[in-house]
A and B are shown apart, each in its own frame.
Chain A
Amino acid sequence: MSMKLEHVSYTYMPGTPYEKEALKDISLEIKKGEFVAVIGHTGSGKSTLVQNLNGLLHPTKGNASLDGVDLSGKSNEAKMARGRIGMVFQYPEHQLFAETVYEDIAFGPQNLGLNYEETDARVKDAMKFVGLDFETYAGRSPFSLSGGQMRRVAIAGVVAMNPDYLILDEPSAGLDPGSRDAVFAEVMELYKKRGTAIIMVTHSMEDAAQFAKRMLVVYDGRIIIDGKPGEVFLKEKEQLLKVGMDVPEVYKLADALRDKGLRLPKEITDAKTLLAEIKRRKGLR
């Protein structure tokens, strides 16, 4: 059970003066139940990478598959495979279109060919999942909601398809801290309770460190680092800085404290652990 890229290259507008090679010979495997963060600079190719992963773009060279089914095919099998990979785009609230929240969320399940009862169950389930009360919101126009609520409706629209793999492109962009935490809590619940594999594109090292179990760093169309966030931030700091990325603040603070002579263990990945360590070292409670 895995999604696979084998020697994938992708070129935009080949054969024109605007030709651009966005991915260069990428091989990658993501197993079911993983939580992967994809980080990289604007224009590094990370969006192209995830769109190749879910079959929206078809590799110029190489191939992309899910459980051995080629995603670029026109067969029913390929279509079913693509349906198992959900994708939440950047600013997903911009794709809302229906007259009511209910209809918008039902769009995906209906396209999967589910009947009325199943669709209804999926919509209710998805709305509950993203914390929107069914009675209050189902009949309302999505355009009358706040930004954070609109995004939740959009995410619910993808969650209602019950994907095995969920790709999120900058899910927290443009949200206030409250909505941001709510969105991440939902994503974590999907990951933990339903075993959905999460592939999250992000600019934020903090988010990658806090949530992901595996981290891919994309630079100039290639994956240059692939590893556990904690290890990557400790071992590959130089490389990250070189490609214009950074390490989370808590790593920087720990480093600064070490420079000042405080003895801290190496594996500090979040603020809580750091605080506990400082207290322990200083003999505080």
Chain B
Amino acid sequence: MLDITLGQYYPGNSFIHRLDPRTKILATLLLIVAVFLANTAVGYGALCVMVLFIIALSGLPFMLVLKSVKPLLFIIVLTLLLHTLLGQGEHVLYQWKFLKVTEEGVQMGVKMSMRLILLLMISSILTFTTSPIVLTDGIEALLRPFRVIGVPAHELAMMMTIALRFIPTLMEETDRIIKAQTARGADFSSGNLLARAKNMLPILVPLFISAFRRADDLAVAMEARCYRGGEGRTRMHQLAYHAGDAAAFVFAFAMIGLMAFLRWGPNVL
């Protein structure tokens, strides 16, 4: 149970790890734009090299980042198959009844699945190198300007922080309750769906009770320390941009520029 890596943060102290969270969030968005701009083989090749370069910079094991593709593997394969089998085009490679494999279809399928893989890898590098709490700080800082139109930036961030803070606690609690009920001979894996759902009760009831108890305690503790919302609050960890952040922004914009050039620029290749 406790073996699940949370928010998948992979501790480290690389250049990427040390970047300001705001930089990482914005750069991730910019790189996603770059991925959507790419439409040539050269463009996708450049993006792959870029992702490898960022992974090397971040010190993450390559396989770890590649694994982040796994949850969507089905969709990626489906995309590839649909485009390959149903895509329209002139250069027919193979035909069987209504199924027609065309060169254009294959190209489209590869592009679409490459796009999904790149998007997943880029966004997972963000969550691998940024701890959830720091990420929340970054989101709060980025949302702050939108307060004038009524976005409760601080409250959202506080809710996220508290939720994140309690995930490990509740997982530990769940783990303990499961163990306690297992020690009393409870069986969670046999029987039909209904029986199994019923077998979950001895876990869920104590878990809810403890979650409510903790929420109550936390509310009292926060009020006792005079928490009254975000107005006028200062931060323990002040976010600050450094030279590395400037470099990251330059890099991200350069990637967008390169992709735009490959898409609309004169055909140099």
A residues at B contact (CB < 8 Å): 12-13, 16-18, 51, 54, 56, 82-83, 85-87, 89, 92, 94-98, 107-108, 111-112, 143, 157-158, 161
B interface: dominant SS: helix
Residues of B within 8 A of A94 (CB): 173, 176-177, 206, 209-210
Residues of A within 8 A of B202 (CB): 95, 97-98, 107
Q: List 21 A-B contacts (CB under 8 A).
A: A16-B3, A17-B10, A18-B5, A54-B183, A56-B182, A82-B183, A85-B183, A87-B179, A89-B179, A94-B206, A94-B209, A95-B177, A95-B181, A95-B202, A95-B206, A97-B205, A98-B202, A107-B181, A107-B186, A108-B184, A143-B209
Residues of B within 8 A of A18 (CB): 5
Residues of B within 8 A of A17 (CB): 10-11
A111 touches B184 (CB 8 A): yes
Shortest C-beta distance, B105 to chain A (Å), equals 41
State the CA gap A87–B180 with chains docked (Å): 7
Cβ of B232 within 8 Å of any chain A Cβ, yes or no, is: no
Residues of B within 8 A of A54 (CB): 183
Question: B2 is contacted by which of A12, A95, A111 (Cβ under 8 Å)?
Answer: A12
State the CA gap A160–B187 with chains docked (Å): 18
Shortest C-beta distance, A77 to chain B (Å), equals 15
A interface: dominant SS: mixed
B180 touches A89 (CB 8 A): yes
State the CA gap A76–B38 with chains docked (Å): 59
Shortest C-beta distance, B256 to chain A (Å), equals 33
State the CA gap A56–B176 with chains docked (Å): 10
Closest A-chain residue to B179, C-beta based? A56
Question: A92 is contacted by which of B11, B173, B180, B185 (Cβ under 8 Å)?
Answer: B180
* Additional pairs, 5, CB under 8 Å, beyond known A94-B176, A95-B206: A95-B177, A97-B203, A108-B185, A111-B186, A143-B209
Cβ of B197 within 8 Å of any chain A Cβ, yes or no, is: no
User: Nearest 8 pairs between A and B by C-beta?
Assistant: A111-B185, A97-B205, A87-B183, A108-B184, A95-B180, A97-B202, A89-B180, A56-B179
